[in-house]
Structure 1
């Protein structure tokens, strides 16, 4: 068969592809591969920022992700206020400390950044120094030559602008760069809105939870102080609570507990247990172990036995002081602080937590409290710290309490909270009672 016949029968000679055509084909395939890879990177980035609910973390992940996607030296997110003025500037890259270096000064919006605010459309600049709208950089600002700016919309409002400067490999920003960052900005708007809604929900839920906690009463012969702080990690709601009632025999009763788990489900169970405990304690009166037994039994019958730790303590008049009678369902022991600047935990059999076995009895314990003595009940959030044992945290708390034994109760509690710089991995509930001279103690 001749070459002409092979051509007429649909066969193409090998030389028809040629080196030039092969190069074009290879370049096309490489371009498709790069586009596919960048699209996959964009999808991964969208998933990364979408799964975060803390607003501050969302904003930082947006700029870090944008800088990595386009491979630039610098990225920033300018957050706008209702008046269109900059209210925050979050940076990433070699200018990550930019706001601090500039003494906290935010952009005035008079130059190119202001142009993007006034006309919220993608903006690309190849030569910042010679752009007619450039207002220059303040002293200490890192050098920048190219810019890509894209607005971030949350619903129909411009939340802020995403800025990228100076590609790592040099050169101007491309159409593909703009398309990728615009797509990321669109996803960022959704992520920001979700984080803001979640933040509002947590604030409302936290406020609701605080309203469930009782006000601290004033009693002769007894000084009381209560404190509650949700975990500093989202969600800021959980199952810790404290309560105080005066029983029919006029004896003050302190109650504090911690439901296993975190979030809204734990808070819902907390509400059930705390309300039920108030009624049972008022009905059963004493001893504390009987109150816990009745509570555990009812919870098993009505709610399937939710897991929780609880401590109940009566403060009965005795001479010039009080007698502390308490029982525990798996909870941390009371912390005793004497006027002589000594502090130690009243270690005793803590019993089983609620929800394990309501038929197993829990013991009662007693301790005389002279005038000036403080007894403090708290949840484990106060003494828990990642990488440390619970005993270490308890020893630290006892040491701080001893140092501040002679201070007013609010100051003593503040010292315990401040020791962790106000940052806690779990919720903290705390109830302190100090024995003072009064009609009931004479």
Structure 2
């Protein structure tokens, strides 16, 4: 006759052993995640410029805020550097994704654009050649980007845009606006793209602000409302130093309601001197 055995109750030792095993697994996963976070943050620190150039009457500053979820990193980036002819180059972009791969891809775009900009004068050509170069590397991601070239003497600002969000400007006399420049496809989608060039002159005292969508768009803030919010903000603070204005604009990212990373690049420009200068 078979007797049914009563299941043995788990002892305190069994429960403790199971808990220790689960705790050890959880600790390993946390340590692995933390290692990936630290790697992504190191990539971000090393691939964004430590300093930005400036000229008399022209100042630049930037701020970056990491994503508030996931790996606490993303593909938003900015750059500013001097060109061989003495012009100032500024760029800002956003790589698809929020992980180590996005951070690494961001670095590739930044390096490629710097190299190409040293030999190509036209911003549209810089953008097109950068697009073709990164496509030749077989990327699995794409990126939006805006590239600007400023002559510090004439204050002519030339720009090309690859699917990136608009910029915002304001002057001390009360003028302000949102750029409506023509553009092309994001980088890394299709070869041999044409990127129109927009030209404007920064001859008045004011600020020109480059953004990523993490500053202006999210569940709590549609992109048009976000741009209008930043326009008003920049108009109110157009006379602030570049670093202060960049921090002020970046704080607005908290209003978007999302957890994306965000970047702001500010070009603060004084009025062009007129008449004889006393030295």
TM-score range, shorter chain: 0.7 to 0.9
Partner of residue 436 from structure 1, selected from 263, 270, 273: 270
Q: TM-score, normalised by structure 1?
A: 0.55
> Structure 1 residues 333 and 372, CA, compared in 2 at 3 Å: closer, same or farther?
same
Residues 52-76 of structure 1, C-alpha deviation per residue, up to 9 Å, x if partnerless?
xxxxxxxxxxxxxxxxxxxxxxxxx
Residue 83 of structure 2 corresponds to 247
The answer as to 2:61 corresponding to 1:228 is: no
Richer in helix (by share)? 1
Residue 110 of structure 2 corresponds to 274
Q: Is the 8 A contact 1:237 1:262 kept in 2?
A: yes
Residues 195-243 of structure 1, C-alpha deviation per residue, up to 9 Å, x if partnerless?
1342244134313321221121232221110112221112122222111
> Structure 1 residues 265 and 221, CA, compared in 2 at 3 Å: closer, same or farther?
same
Partner of residue 261 from structure 2, selected from 409, 427, 441: 427
> Structure 1 residues 336 and 438, CA, compared in 2 at 3 Å: closer, same or farther?
closer
Q: Secondary structure at the match of 1:283?
A: coil
Following the alignment from structure 2 to structure 1, what is the Cα–Cα distance between the partners of residues 129 and 68? 34
Q: Is the 8 A contact 1:300 1:306 kept in 2?
A: no
Q: What is the CA distance between 1:271 and its match in structure 2?
A: 1.4
Residue 40 of structure 1 corresponds to none
Q: How does 1:349-368 map to 2 (within 5 A)?
A: 349-368=182-201
> Structure 1 residues 183 and 368, CA, compared in 2 at 3 Å: closer, same or farther?
same
Residues 25-76 of structure 1, C-alpha deviation per residue, up to 9 Å, x if partnerless?
6x95xx68xx7xxxxxxxxxxxxxxxxxxxxxxxxxxxxxxxxxxxxxxxxx
Q: Is the 8 A contact 1:220 1:440 kept in 2?
A: no
Following the alignment from structure 1 to structure 2, what is the Cα–Cα distance between the partners of residues 440 and 425? 46
Residue 23 of structure 2 corresponds to 188
Following the alignment from structure 1 to structure 2, what is the Cα–Cα distance between the partners of residues 407 and 177? 65
The answer as to 2:163 corresponding to 1:327 is: no
The answer as to 2:247 corresponding to 1:411 is: no
Q: Is the 8 A contact 1:299 1:306 kept in 2?
A: no
Residue 381 of structure 1 corresponds to 214
Q: What is the CA distance between 1:281 and its match in structure 2?
A: 0.6
Q: What is the CA distance between 1:401 and its match in structure 2?
A: 2.1
Q: What is the CA distance between 1:301 and its match in structure 2?
A: 2.5
The answer as to 2:261 corresponding to 1:261 is: no
Q: What is the CA distance between 1:328 and its match in structure 2?
A: 0.3
Residues 115-139 of structure 1, C-alpha deviation per residue, up to 9 Å, x if partnerless?
xxxxxxxxxxxxxxxxxxxxxxxxx
Residue 231 of structure 2 corresponds to 398
Residue 213 of structure 1 corresponds to 48
Q: Please, what is the CA RMSD of the aligned residues? A: 3.0
Following the alignment from structure 1 to structure 2, what is the Cα–Cα distance between the partners of residues 364 and 370? 19
Following the alignment from structure 1 to structure 2, what is the Cα–Cα distance between the partners of residues 311 and 304? 19
> Structure 1 residues 318 and 190, CA, compared in 2 at 3 Å: closer, same or farther?
same
Q: Is the 8 A contact 2:210 2:264 kept in 1?
A: yes
Residues 99-127 of structure 1, C-alpha deviation per residue, up to 9 Å, x if partnerless?
xxxxxxxxxxxxxxxxxxxxxxxxxxxxx
Q: What is the CA distance between 1:278 and its match in structure 2?
A: 0.4
Q: Secondary structure at the match of 1:434?
A: strand
Gaps of at least 5 residues in structure 2 are: none
Q: Is the 8 A contact 1:341 1:404 kept in 2?
A: no
Gaps of at least 5 residues in structure 1 are: 1-11, 36-174
Relative contact order, CA 8 A, sep 6+: which one is greater? 2
Aligned length: 274
The answer as to 2:137 corresponding to 1:302 is: yes
> Structure 1 residues 196 and 363, CA, compared in 2 at 3 Å: closer, same or farther?
same
